[in-house]
Amino acid sequence: MGLLDTYTKPLTADQVAYLLRRATFGPTADQLKTLTGQTAAQIVTKLLTDQPTPAPPLDLTTSKTFTDRPFDSVNAGKYNVYIKHWWANLMLNQPVSLLEKMTLFWSNHFVTNDSTVNDYRYMYQYNVLLRKHALGNFKAFTIAITQDPAMLRFLNGNQNVAGTPNENYARELQELFTIGRDGGYTEADVRAAAKVLTGWADTGYRDAVNTPISSAFRPTKHDTTDKVFSATYQNTVIKGRTGANAGLDELNDLLDMILRNVETPRYICRKLYRWFVNSDIPATVETNFIQPLADLFRKGNFEIKPVLTALFQSQHFFDESIRGAVIKSPTDLVIGTFRFWGLQAPDPTQNITAYYQIGNYIYARIKEEQQDLLNPPTVFGWTAYYQTGYYQQWINSTTLGLRGFFSDSLTTNALKLNGKVVIDVLAYVKTLSDPTDPAKLVSELTSQLLAIAPTQQQKDFLTDTILLNSIPRYEWGAEWNAYVQAPTDAAKKQAVQLKLTAFLQYVYRMAEFQVV
């Protein structure tokens, strides 16, 4: 049985939760109920269904759009943050769809950042471009990102002109965006690619008069000589061209050449594997999973959907030995936790204040845990995705305490968003099969909250020491029934609520909760 063979059995609730934690920012309770018993193929079809383009962000003060208007230097900082809140809320409200997770993936792959670009309208257009191509054709995506105004600014493509080529984008196009560091390209290949890419520039940067922002090819700034590449690219010669179409024609030739290299599809598939499955790629996985996936990618004309379909339906993906192999990113942690408890951002046209209150809280927690949306620290992306150890970098001396602070703030009932307590643990426990049985209660909650099933010894410890604080188990049933019979009695309510709060605080700090 091959690693890429399709997993055909109906999925259990645990498997559905696992799939949605990896492919989205976590399941809601309703999604778990609805999808349990369906096959991976059925769920993946839903995950890959095209989604509509979301409405643009609105100004909190005026309730009007601002990304389609002239640059506003006075409100630039505020608008930049609104876009991040808008994206955070799109992730929170996502349906059963891969789109938001893939948009985040591509923002860590085709990296730009707002600190360098410094025009909020550019960053909004960049995000729109990512989601437009996130599940489409990789070649078309790469051509579009090469011309994107934010990318032209970020990697100095707008300064790349005939006679004085700027090599920044040509280097990262090969090293980080397509073939990878091990692809065998040379410094001469970087220089030749830079010449291919001469002549492009963004338009409308920080323009307070003319609204439109775009990019344009300038034929007079283009190097029209032939570009000769190394044996890595079969000594390809890209013919120099003149005229209005020269830039796009040579860019197409450049991408065709790069995509012919056998390492390019492997490199992209490894990045997808590390994002969705496991940062560790042993030789058996490279040979029996990455290579067949790369072959599928290449033979499928570099369409992204077939690759993701194969990955998420594979026997290997559902191998229980890789459960917990990925540490939750801050975005996974914060948004996934909120989604489990049913928090949704309201329609901004109906309640824009609450909309931005939720987006602001999510973004603040994600940023302090070192995943600033639309602002990765370098062209390599966020540290956890390229440093040794990969996801292990999300847990460090700074973020560990902040992750605990986040979960503690939810469980104390102190945090209210959109006028509601985020976690109503009493209401949720009432939905369990038998809230009077503490062992069953612990078993059900841990199966829903933890990526790795606890051992019986762990369950007993969570039941007797953490939940019950060493009182006999039978007393819990009496306390719960007393509360249910008199829910407005403060003392009876507190007797069960304090125990459940202590239980949740402990579970949220367990390693099994910090992974997916």
Domain boundary among 221, 254, 287: 254
Q: Is 60 part of a structural domain of the chain?
A: no
Q: How far is CA 411 from CA 190, 402, 408, in A?
A: 53, 15, 5
Asked whether residue 209 is domain-assigned, the answer is yes
Structure token digits, residue 503: 């239980």
In which residue are the tokens 């890209």 written?
238
Q: For residue 503, tell me if it sits in a domain.
A: yes
pLDDT of residue 389: 54
Q: Residue 231 falls within a domain, yes or no?
A: yes
What pLDDT is recorded for position 17?
95
In a domain, 337, yes or no: no
Confirm whether 16 is domain-assigned: no
- DSSP string computed for 50-106: --PPPPPPB-TTT-SB-TTS---TTTHHHHHHHHHHHHHHHHHT--S-SHHHHHHHH
Q: Is 354 inside any structural domain?
A: no
Domain boundary among 188, 219, 254: 254
Tokens (6 digits) for 229: 């590449």
Ranges of residues in the chain with a pLDDT under 50 are none
Quote the tokens at residue 514. 């910090």
Is residue 473 a contact partner of residue 464, using CB atoms and an 8 Å limit?
yes
H/E segment holding residue 458: helix 456-461
Q: Which of 254, 288, 305 delimits the end of a domain?
A: 254
The model's pTM is: 0.96
Q: Is there a domain that residue 40 lies in?
A: no
**Residue 511: per-residue pLDDT:** 94
Residue 209 has a pLDDT of 93
Query: Which residues share a beta bridge with 215?
Result: 202
pLDDT per residue as tens digits for the range 204-242: 999 999 878 999 999 999 999 999 999 999 999 999 999
Q: Based on the number of CB atoms within 10 Å of its own CB, is 364 exposed (0-12), middle (13-18) or buried (19 or more)?
A: middle
How far apart, in whole angstroms, are the C-alpha atoms of residue 289 and residue 5? Answer: 9
Provide the CB-side half-sphere exposure for 334 (13 A, CA): 29
Number of domains in the chain: 2
Domain that holds residue 199: 137-254
What pairs with residue 491 in β-bridges? none
The span from the CA of 420 to the CA of 246, in Å, is 58
Q: From its phi and psi, is residue 78 left (phi > 0), alpha (psi between -120 and 50) or beta?
A: alpha
